[in-house]
Amino acid sequence: MPAVRIVEVGPRDGLQNVQRTVPAATKLELIHRLEQTGLQAIELTSVVSPKAVPQLADCRTVLGDEYVQTLLQGQKKGHLRLPVLVPNLKGLDIAIEYGVREVAVFVSATEGFSRANINCSVREGIERARAVAEKGRRAGVAVRGYVSCIFADPYDGPTPPSAVLHCVNELLGMGCYEVSLGDTLGVGVTSKVRRLIEYLVQNGVPVEQLAGHFHDTYGQALANVWQAYCCGIRVFDSSVGGLGGCPFAPGAKGNVATEDLVYLFENAGVDTGVNLLKLAETGDWISRQLSKTNESRAGTALSVKHKPGSVGCTGAPTQQPTVPKLRWTPVKETEGLQIYRSGVNLKVVLNRPKNGNALTVPMISQLCDVFENADSDSSISRIVITANGKFFCTGMDLGKGSTQVGQGGSTSTAQFDRLTRLFELIDNSSKVTIACMNGPTFGGGVGLAFACDIRICVKTAAVTLSEVRLGLCPATISKYVAREWGPAFTREAMLSARPISAQELKSLGVVAGVAEDQQQLQRLLDGLLTRLRGSSPDASRMSKELVKLSWAHAGGEKQAAGIKALFERMMRPDGEGAHGVKQFQAGKKMDWDAYVEDKLKAKL
Dihedrals phi, psi of 42, to nearest 5 degrees:
-135, 120
Question: How many other β-carbons are positioned within 10 Å of the β-carbon of residue 203?
Answer: 12
What is the three-class DSSP state of 572?
A: coil
Q: How many residues does the chain have?
A: 604
92: which residues sit within 8 A by CB, 6+ positions away?
47, 86, 103, 132, 135, 136, 141
Whether the Cβ atoms of residue 370 and residue 425 lie closer than 8 Å to each other:
no
In whole angstroms, give the CA distance from residue 85 to residue 496.
Answer: 65
Whether the Cβ atoms of residue 115 and residue 97 lie closer than 8 Å to each other:
no
The HSE-up count of residue 196 (CA atoms within 13 Å, CB side) is 30
* Alpha-helix runs per DSSP H in 174-233: 190-202, 221-230
In whole angstroms, give the CA distance from residue 144 to residue 81.
Answer: 11
Dihedral angle sign, alpha carbons of residues 155, 161, 165, 168: positive
Residue 117's closest CA among 55, 177, 175, 184?
184
In whole angstroms, give the CA distance from residue 602 to residue 525.
Answer: 30
In whole angstroms, give the CA distance from residue 374 to residue 344.
Answer: 11
Dihedrals phi, psi of 350, to nearest 5 degrees:
-70, 130
Whether the Cβ atoms of residue 37 and residue 282 lie closer than 8 Å to each other:
yes
Strands annotated E in 375-459? 382-387, 432-437, 441-442, 454-458
167 is catalytic: no
Q: What is the DSSP pairing of strand 157-158 with strand 152-153?
A: antiparallel
In whole angstroms, give the CA distance from residue 64 to residue 59.
Answer: 8
C-alpha torsion angle, residues 131, 132, 135, 140 (rounded to 10): -150
Catalytic residue among 59, 176, 246, 457: 246
So which residues are the catalytic ones?
A: 246
